[in-house]
Amino acid sequence: LDARSPMALRVAIDVGFDDLMSDGERKSLASQCGLCHSIASQAEHRPHVALAVCCGTGGGERSLSLLRAAGLEQWQPLSWQGGSSASLLSMPGTSVDDLVYLSPDAPDVLSELTPSAVYVIGGLVDRHKVRGASRERAAALGIRCARLPL
């Protein structure tokens, strides 16, 4: 990936993995989401940060509650999607072909960033390694899955 090419990226954080995390891990996730928003809002080339709250298989209500307590409604610019995990598929201005779920377990390597894509990060703090969770979420939604070239 060419870090020298600035572009406005769209990033979604899927916080629908409540059932795979402890209370402490959910608190850590809320803190990390706040940090991501803070960094993004101060960046020279600001990405559009969207929190995709997925309540399908794992819920997201507890993580959303912690995010609201951290001031989610005041974070600008920010949008979030509620409801089922299909909310990722109904993000405004986005088609399923635009979504790329980033997963360390994906067989494909992300070789380039495209401005039309929405890069979905699985909001899962897993101190005990939950393998394949983000890849399985992407497959269930029919979303392309790729890993970073690390």
Q: Are strands 99-102 and 144-146 parallel, antiparallel or unpaired?
A: parallel
pLDDT single digits (tens) 32-85: 888 887 777 777 766 666 655 554 444 677 777 787 777 766 666 555 555 555
* Cα radius of gyration rounded to whole Å, the chain: 14
> What is the CATH T-level fold of the domain 10-146, as seen in this structure?
Alpha/beta knot (3.40.1280)
Residues contacting residue 129 through CB under 8 Å, at least 6 positions apart: none
> What confidence category does residue 109 fall into, taking pLDDT thresholds of 50, 70 and 90?
very high
pLDDT single digits (tens) 71-80: 766 666 555 5
Residue with the larger pLDDT of the pair 19 and 146: 146
Task: Report the C-alpha gap between 132 and 98 in whole angstroms.
Answer: 22
pLDDT of residue 147: 96
Mean pLDDT for all residues in the chain: 78
Domain ranges of the chain: 10-146
Mean pLDDT over 2-21 rounds to: 74
Q: Are strands 99-102 and 48-52 parallel, antiparallel or unpaired?
A: unpaired
Could you give the percent of the chain with pLDDT greater than 70?
Answer: 69
pLDDT of 137 above 60 = yes
Percent of residues in the chain assigned helix, strand, coil, to nearest 5: 35, 20, 45
